[in-house]
Structure 1
């Protein structure tokens, strides 16, 4: 799969409609990040988030987790 480049705002809008599927190659995280999801902003940076009471909680939007 070729990775596109997305802005954090684009990914957040996508998460609002499809929290666990869609662009940015969403994947559930493991170990101490259990309950969080990651999406690619680009090859280096990730948006890390979780869904809590229908709210998107972004905990990181730079670097690799």
Structure 2
């Protein structure tokens, strides 16, 4: 079950206002996470050891990452701009 943080929603809205193709790419990454294994697939999934347990990222482009946390059957989408932010 997906849970979208306010930061993630704001980031996605920003992408659709400024670079809609990247917004589409983010939704493709979200679909890949939810439809398959959240730890493999598109965007070079990588565990984030120094943020929090079970937190992963996927590459949107060279500068930006999709950050999400997997807990049980829930996937928390935390951010979709910049690199990693602790919190």
Q: TM-score range by the shorter chain?
A: 0.7 to 0.9
Name which of 51, 65, 78 aligns with 1:59. 78
Tell me, in whole angstroms, the C-alpha distance in 1 between the residues paired with 2:60 and 2:32: 12
Question: If the length of structure 1 is used for normalisation, what is the TM-score?
Answer: 0.81
Q: Tell me how far apart the structure 1 counterparts of residues 73 and 53 of structure 2 sit (CA, whole Å).
A: 18
Higher relative contact order (CA 8 A, sep 6+): 2
**Structure with more helix by fraction:** 2
TM-score, with normalisation over the residues of structure 2?
A: 0.63
Provide Cα deviations, 1:5-36, integer angstroms capped at 9, x if missing partner.
77110000000112000110001001233320
Counterpart secondary structure, 1:47: strand
